[in-house]
Amino acid sequence: MKKNRNLRAILMLSAVFLLISVFVADAAEFVIFHTSDIHGSIAAHDDPTAREMPKPLIGGFAALKSVMNKYKSNPVYSNSRFLYFDSGDIFQGTPIVDRTKGSVMIDLMNQMPLSAITLGNHEFDYTYEMLVEQMKCAKFPVVCCNVFDKRTNRPIEMSVPYAVFSHEGKKIGVIGFNAPETPLITFARNVKDIYFKEPADVIKPLISQLRKAKVDFIIALSHLGYERDLALARDIEGLDLILGGHSHTLKKDITYAGPNNTTIVHSGASCENTSIITVNIDDCGNNSVRMVSVPLLIDEVGEDPYIKAVTDEYLFELNKEMKRVIGESKVNLYRGICGGNSHEGTFISEAMRHCSGADFAFTNFGGVRQPLYKGKITIENIFLIQPFDNCIEVLEMTGLEIRDLAERAVSNKSIEVSQDDKAENLKVFNQEVSGTKLIFAGNYGYLYPAGLVITFDPTREPMKRVTKITTDTDKELENNKIYKVAFSDFVANGGDGYGVLRTFKNRTKSDLLIRDAMIKYIGELGTITTKPAPTMINLKLTQKDLE
């Protein structure tokens, strides 16, 4: 029987840990719960990876707290210290976190309770000043060593570089750091008073400092993304465990990387899974690390009644507005892999193009947050796809300038699609992929157009990868002709690395939010009957939709 399968596995693992502990003399045991990239997902929601209908419910703080309760009441762990760490991006992504400008997350994490968090790039979406104000209510430390105040040249005021947790004479040190490219992926006004350093430059002396203070085990709370965590493990000596986020990667098993086989754990996103890591430290300096990944499926793990009551109260009035139906889709639309085509990305761009009257439109990869599933479409569905308060801005560009933009969009480092990539795309996007993709965190955000078809070879030299670019009616762009091109105001004003767009003088900013453009466009369509035709053609990538 599928129900409770994961809990049975947890109990079996607990028994194994009990047997092991008999043979480990004077060991201190820490049990660590880990999440990342929650993005305001405070309550249970449809499991995005499920194929059955209706989709089972997954996630939320009440489910996470229920799992914590089961562990804490298990006599196997009666001598353990429990900790809960998060790797950032708790803000931005759902209506409730947007309405409260993040305060709902602080309230609920206080009640879990959270042991420590690092900052993600989206923590700055409501401005640095708002973040400082919200964090005044936090009852947990914010560990972030690489974000500094321009006025003082010291770490930002609500953070500390590290925190130390003790148990039975053993110490765990936790160092946190944020993505240094944050100024490129949020509005400049949000981070105008702060600056970001490369984490490696700050981490190394902190590791030495912690070792001198007799810390036995060092954890990095990283908001760099999976690929960069692998590089960190190769480049930095002295980290025992990296708890990562930013790339929304879910790893069901531990990854070992670098010359010292540094342990790396990534727990996915949207509070749909938690990684439970058990760290044993003995008097001989021997450390052991074990991990189990638990899907927070409501039918299997249940929900803590008090936390559920709190989340229900937050959502009661808002849900009346969010559940309004605006249309229907006969197809599933997914973002897909970076460097590939996206039916969903193209659809968003088409809504922007349609409502702005532009010739072409572009949506950035990071602006496509959730799939659009077949069935009734609600206001909430659109908010989850486009949670940002970004408006449409139209720039006048020549055909030559559009080609330059396209080259930038496909110029990031290219790598082969891994087995993990294949498994994730099959599970999340129901798509088989093979070949060469582009990395997620590079100099430029990957873009999805409407009204254009861009063909490129990612194995060629950067800025020389576009082999063909035409309109969707198969006409060549005229180099000197002026076209109207729609973007989000975030990208149009230099976001995602496109600082060059700030130099364009002829521009018109609309007050129309992109999500409102989607609502208007879907309302006019009534029903989405087919997937948009491909607009990004990667000559070295094969994509096969399985539906």
Classify residue 38: in a domain, yes or no.
Answer: yes
Rounded to whole angstroms, how far apart are CA atoms 178 and 333?
Answer: 31
Question: Which of 175, 265, 160 shows the shortest CA–CA distance to 220?
Answer: 175
- Structure tokens belonging to residue 174: 């936790």
**199 prior amide bond cis, ω within 30:** no
Classify residue 426: in a domain, yes or no.
Answer: yes
Please list the residues that pair with 252 across neighbouring strands.
none
What would the pLDDT profile of 73-83 be if each residue is shown by its tens digit? 999 999 999 99
Rounded to whole angstroms, how far apart are CA atoms 357 and 341?
Answer: 23
Classify residue 8: in a domain, yes or no.
Answer: no
pLDDT of residue 26: 66
What would the pLDDT profile of 480-493 be if each residue is shown by its tens digit? 999 999 999 999 99
Classify residue 92: in a domain, yes or no.
Answer: yes
Contacts of 194 (CB under 8 A, 6+ apart): 128, 147, 148, 149, 150, 156
Co-location of 237 and 308 in the same domain: yes
pLDDT of residue 420: 87
Classify residue 25: in a domain, yes or no.
Answer: no
280 pLDDT more than 50 = yes
25 pLDDT more than 60 = no
Co-location of 307 and 327 in the same domain: no
pLDDT of residue 510: 94
Classify residue 17: in a domain, yes or no.
Answer: no
Residue 312, CA atoms < 13 Å, CB-side half-sphere: 8
Q: Give the pLDDT mean for 106-121.
A: 97
284 pLDDT more than 90 = no
276 pLDDT more than 70 = yes
State how beta strands 431-438 and 541-545 pair. Answer: antiparallel
Rounded to whole angstroms, how far apart are CA atoms 393 and 381?
Answer: 23
pLDDT of residue 1: 41
Q: Give the pLDDT mean for 455-475.
A: 97
Maximum alpha-carbon separation in the chain: 77
Selected residue with higher pLDDT from 11 and 207: 207
DSSP state for residue 177 in the 8-state scheme: E
* Helix or strand run (H / E) with residue 174: strand 170-177
What would the pLDDT profile of 326-368 be if each residue is shown by its tens digit? 999 999 999 999 999 999 999 999 999 999 999 999 999 999 9
* Helix or strand run (H / E) with residue 228: helix 226-235
3-state secondary structure of 115: coil
pLDDT of residue 17: 44
3-state helix/strand/coil string of 459-482:
CCCCCCCEEEEEECCCCECCCCCE
391 pLDDT more than 80 = yes
Co-location of 355 and 284 in the same domain: no
Co-location of 431 and 487 in the same domain: yes
pLDDT of residue 15: 44
pLDDT of residue 173: 98
Classify residue 6: in a domain, yes or no.
Answer: no
**CATH of residue 70:** 3.60.21.10
Q: What is the mean pLDDT of the chain?
A: 93
Dihedral sign, Cα of residue 177, residue 180, residue 185, residue 190:
positive
Classify residue 78: in a domain, yes or no.
Answer: yes
Co-location of 416 and 495 in the same domain: yes
Q: Give the pLDDT mean for 242-265.
A: 96
pLDDT of residue 92: 93
User: Within 10 Å of residue 313's Cβ, how many Cβ atoms?
Assistant: 9
10 Å CB burial of residue 520 (0-12, 13-18, 19+) is: middle
Co-location of 434 and 468 in the same domain: yes
Q: Sheet of 273-281: strands edge to edge?
A: 159-160, 142-143, 116-117, 81-86, 28-35, 273-281, 287-295
Given 267, 288, 314, the domain boundary residue is 314
Co-location of 38 and 148 in the same domain: yes
Kindly report the backbone phi and psi dihedral angles of residue 105, in degrees, each rounded to the nearest multiple of 5, phi listed first: -70, -40
Rounded to whole angstroms, how far apart are CA atoms 109 and 115?
Answer: 9
- Structure tokens belonging to residue 239: 């980290």
3-state helix/strand/coil string of 180-216:
CCHHHCCCHHHHCCEEECCHHHHHHHHHHHHHHCCCC
Rounded to whole angstroms, how far apart are CA atoms 272 and 146?
Answer: 28
**CATH of residue 398:** 3.90.780.10
For the chain, what is the domain count?
A: 2
Q: Are 199 and 232 in contact (CB under 8 A)?
A: yes
The percent of residues above 70 in pLDDT, for the chain, comes to: 95
Co-location of 248 and 396 in the same domain: no
19 pLDDT more than 50 = no
3-state secondary structure of 185: coil
Co-location of 350 and 292 in the same domain: no
- Structural domain that includes position 432: 322-545
Q: Are 322 and 95 in contact (CB under 8 A)?
A: yes
Q: Are 271 and 297 in contact (CB under 8 A)?
A: no
Contacts of 88 (CB under 8 A, 6+ apart): 36, 37, 117, 118, 119, 120, 121, 122, 123, 176, 178, 221, 223, 245, 246
10 Å CB burial of residue 66 (0-12, 13-18, 19+) is: buried
Could you write out the DSSP letters of every residue in 347-363? Answer: HHHHHHHHHHT-SEEEE
Q: Are 352 and 449 in contact (CB under 8 A)?
A: no
Co-location of 308 and 326 in the same domain: no
Q: Give the pLDDT mean for 454-462.
A: 97
What is the value of pTM for the model shown? 0.85
Co-location of 267 and 332 in the same domain: no
The percent of residues above 90 in pLDDT, for the chain, comes to: 88
Co-location of 283 and 396 in the same domain: no
Given 314, 343, 366, the domain boundary residue is 314
Selected residue with higher pLDDT from 60 and 283: 60
Q: Are 274 and 35 in contact (CB under 8 A)?
A: yes
What's the Cα-to-Cα distance from 265 to each of 20, 254, 255, rounded to whole Å? 22, 6, 7
Given 260, 284, 314, the domain boundary residue is 314
State how beta strands 325-329 and 527-528 pair. Answer: parallel
Selected residue with higher pLDDT from 16 and 29: 29
